[in-house]
């Protein structure tokens, strides 16, 4: 038994995105959730399922009594930061498919713009857990942790900064077409990319995602119910999570093959439970806290061979409309907003509906992925058939 | 200038990691070895993933290794690291078993700061050896110099 095609995303909602917003995280969560329910045409009193990230600061009980939800019979949270997003929706889909609830809301609300809100900046002077084996030597931030893998990747496979620039520039071009993107009005040239200041060599400023305040929500119901609602359903064709053998979160340097990350494990279950293959995917939203996660994920999800992810980005490979795989068509984390990857799910739904600002013509299948470098998750969304 | 970094985060030594830090204080670079099946592992953890034994021994390594990867962090950083930025962080692969890797810094000599080596000269694969540098009252950190 699988959940193939049994559930769908019937509504999406989001706040505006900005470096700093006056609303509280709770107010933003409520705004995004009510917008998603309105998009679906479902009354808040019908909601009986809830799922978000373990890092979400708004607990279910507070959200439920603000939004006016009914009696909730299923609630859960998914761990590992940016790796959680598709897992939040996928677990809600499993709960709906197994009858634990009927209308599930999923969301992420985050005030990230203030420098003091950055988790790495709140490190105490005594480090416990796995980070005690990296932070004392000055390997402090997520960007440092991914830069270490990136340097090795470049060394093993001949990837260059030009390849990483391809990722950043594709996202920026797409954001320039998306009025909701915080970088809508800011173009970027390859020269600007190459001249940008270092953050952690070999990664520069534009290899990093944005810091954003904002919230995004999605409503999950049965595929049958979704057919009768306001919007064309984005059917959850397949869903996967991945925690690969001997993985250490973020500082994944200690397994035999550190460049083979959780995406590889997630891809196994995703494609196993799907009727589709990577060649059937029309458009992708690939988690992009850092640009090198795109080539690593392209390899993990099987769009190219090992070490070929960088070359895949060449000649506009990721760009709308003619790239071999238009990727991150809203601008995603690097140029739309960084809402822990949940905005990528909303963009995946828009592609299936045909309403993206960089719409891939006739798109029927969209892969959405969550963070690589941490235990992760992915969704394969399709149009109703 | 002292190589010590004021207020740098330090490991919270616990029952699992204590023998590693006892080792560095004595000038030994130790890794765990499963007392049941002999499989080495690092970073330290309670159970052997190969045979599920909780019985552990500690084995001193030669301290010879090669650079597996490296980065050069620039600001914004934790305040403690701002005065030494940009500096390097390396991951080394131990000669005894290249799948055993450790995070460290490449420094010019045992008393030098983590910004003492020109990052443009660091190469993946170059040979290094461990040195031990006090970091605060109780902790001695392993760092690395060119072999």
| Averaged pLDDT of chain A | 96
Domain ranges, residue A51: 7-113+213-383
| CA gap A211, A206 in Å, rounded | 12
Cβ-defined contact of B104 to A137 (cutoff 8 Å): yes
pLDDT > 70: percent of chain A = 97
pLDDT at site A167: 98
- Look at residue A112 in the predicted model and tell me its pLDDT: 81
In which band, very low, low, confident or very high, does the pLDDT at B2 lie, cut at 50, 70 and 90?
low
Domain membership of residue A126 (yes or no) is no
| B residues 40-79 lying closer than 8 A (beta carbon) to A | 42-43, 49, 68-74, 76-78
Determine the average pLDDT of the residues in A301-311: 98
What residues of chain A lie within 8 A of the CB of B114, using their CB? 137-138
Domain assignment present for residue A190? The answer is no
Per-residue confidence (pLDDT) for residue A192, from 0 to 100: 98
Q: Across all residues in chain B, what is the average pLDDT?
A: 95
A348 to each of A90, A116, A273, how far by Cα in Å? 14, 31, 19
Q: Can you tell me the mean pLDDT for A175-203?
A: 98
Tell me the per-residue pLDDT of B95-107, one tens digit each, with 9 for 90 and over.
Answer: 999 999 999 999 9
Does some domain include residue A1? no
Q: Would you call the peptide bond into A321 cis, given omega within 30 degrees of 0 as the criterion? A: yes
| Cross-chain residue pair A201–B81, CB shorter than 8 Å | no
- Give the residue on A whose Cα is nearest the Cα of B14: A128
Alpha carbons A194 and A264: distance in angstroms, whole number: 30
Q: Do B114 and A137 touch (CB under 8 A)?
A: yes
A51-101, pLDDT tens digit by residue?
999 999 999 999 999 999 999 999 999 999 999 999 999 999 999 999 999
Mean pLDDT of A2-30: 97
Residue A8 has pLDDT above 80, yes or no: yes
Q: Quote the number of domains for chain A.
A: 1
- Report pLDDT for B5: 83
The pLDDT confidence band at residue A115, using thresholds 50, 70 and 90, is low
Q: Are strands B10-11 and A126-127 parallel, antiparallel or unpaired?
A: parallel
Residue A132, in any domain of the structure: no
Mean pLDDT of B23-49: 97
Which CATH number belongs to the domain containing residue A276 in this structure? Answer: 3.40.47.10
Q: What is the pLDDT of residue A113?
A: 67
Residue B126's nearest CA partner among B74, B70, B79, B50 is B70
Whether B12 and A128 lie within 8 Å, measured CB to CB: yes
Q: Which residues pair with A221 in a beta bridge?
A: A8
Interface test with B, best of A138, A142, A199, A290 (most B CBs within 10 A): A138
Task: Report if residue A302 sits inside a domain.
Answer: yes
Tokens of B90: 């390396």
A136 touches chain B (CB under 8 A): yes
Domains of chain B: 12-61 (no CATH), 62-147 (2.40.50)
Q: Indicate whether B1 pLDDT > 60.
A: no
Q: Is residue A139 part of a domain?
A: no
Q: How confident is the model at residue A385 (pLDDT cuts 50, 70, 90)?
A: confident
Q: Is B77 in Cβ contact with A140 (below 8 Å)?
A: yes
Report strand pairing: A283-285 vs A365-369: parallel
Could you say which of B7, B70, B86 has the minimum Cβ distance to residue A151? B70
Task: Say what the pLDDT of residue A122 is.
Answer: 67
Assess if residue A78 is contained within a domain. Answer: yes
Percent of chain A with pLDDT over 90: 95
């Amino acid at each position: 038994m699988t959940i193939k095609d049994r559930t769908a995303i019937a509504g999406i909602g989001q706040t505006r995105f900005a470096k700093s917003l006056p609303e509280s995280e709770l107010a933003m969560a409520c705004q995004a959730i009510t917008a998603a329910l309105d998009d679906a045409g479902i009354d808040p009193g019908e909601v009986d399922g809830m799922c978000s990230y373990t890092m979400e600061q708004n607990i279910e009980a507070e959200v439920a009594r603000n939004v006016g939800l009914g009696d909730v019979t299923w609630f859960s949270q998914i761990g590992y930061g940016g790796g959680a997003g598709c897992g939040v929706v996928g677990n809600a889909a499993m709960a709906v498919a197994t009858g634990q609830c009927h209308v599930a809301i999923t969301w992420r609300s985050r005030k990230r713009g203030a420098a003091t809100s950055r988790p790495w900046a709140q490190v105490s002077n005594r480090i416990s857990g796995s980070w005690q084996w990296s932070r004392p030597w000055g390997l402090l931030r997520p960007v440092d942790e991914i830069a270490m893998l990136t340097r090795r990747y470049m060394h093993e496979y001949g990837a260059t900064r030009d390849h990483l620039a391809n990722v950043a520039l594709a996202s920026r071009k797409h954001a320039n077409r998306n009025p909701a993107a915080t970088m809508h009005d800011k173009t970027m040239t390859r020269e600007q990319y190459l001249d940008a200041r270092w953050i952690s060599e070999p990664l520069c400023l534009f290899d990093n995602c944005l810091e954003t305040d904002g919230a995004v929500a999605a409503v999950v119901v049965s595929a049958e119910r979704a057919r009768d609602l306001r919007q064309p359903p984005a059917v959850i064709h397949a869903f996967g999570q991945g925690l690969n053998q001997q993985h250490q979160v973020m500082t994944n340097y200690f397994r035999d093959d550190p460049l083979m990350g959780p995406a590889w494990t997630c891809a196994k279950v995703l494609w196993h439970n799907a009727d589709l293959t990577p060649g059937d995917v029309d458009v992708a939203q690939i988690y992009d806290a850092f640009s090198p996660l795109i080539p690593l994920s392209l390899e993990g999800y099987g769009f190219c061979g090992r070490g070929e992810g960088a070359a895949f980005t060449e000649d506009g490979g990721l760009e709308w409309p003619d790239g071999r795989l238009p990727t991150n068509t809203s601008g995603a984390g690097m140029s739309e907003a960084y809402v822990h990857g949940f905005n990528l799910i909303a963009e995946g739904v828009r592609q299936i509906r045909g309403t993206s600002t960089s719409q891939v013509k006739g798109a029927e299948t969209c892969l959405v992925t969550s963070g690589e470098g941490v235990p992760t998750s992915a969704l394969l969304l399709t149009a109703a058939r | 200038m002292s190589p010590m970094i004021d207020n740098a985060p330090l490991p919270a030594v616990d029952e699992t990691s204590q023998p590693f830090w006892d080792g560095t204080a004595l000038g030994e670079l130790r890794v765990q070895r499963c007392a049941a099946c002999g499989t080495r592992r690092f970073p330290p953890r309670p159970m052997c993933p190969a045979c599920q034994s909780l019985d552990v021994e500690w084995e001193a390594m030669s301290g010879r290794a090669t650079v597996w990867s490296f980065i050069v962090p620039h600001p914004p950083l934790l305040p403690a690291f701002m005065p030494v930025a940009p500096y390097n962080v390396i991951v080394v692969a131990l000669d005894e078993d290249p799948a055993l890797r450790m995070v460290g810094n490449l420094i010019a000599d045992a008393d030098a700061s983590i910004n003492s080596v020109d990052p443009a000269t660091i190469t993946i694969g170059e040979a290094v050896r461990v040195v031990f540098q006090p970091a605060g009252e109780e902790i001695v950190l392993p760092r690395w110099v060119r072999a």
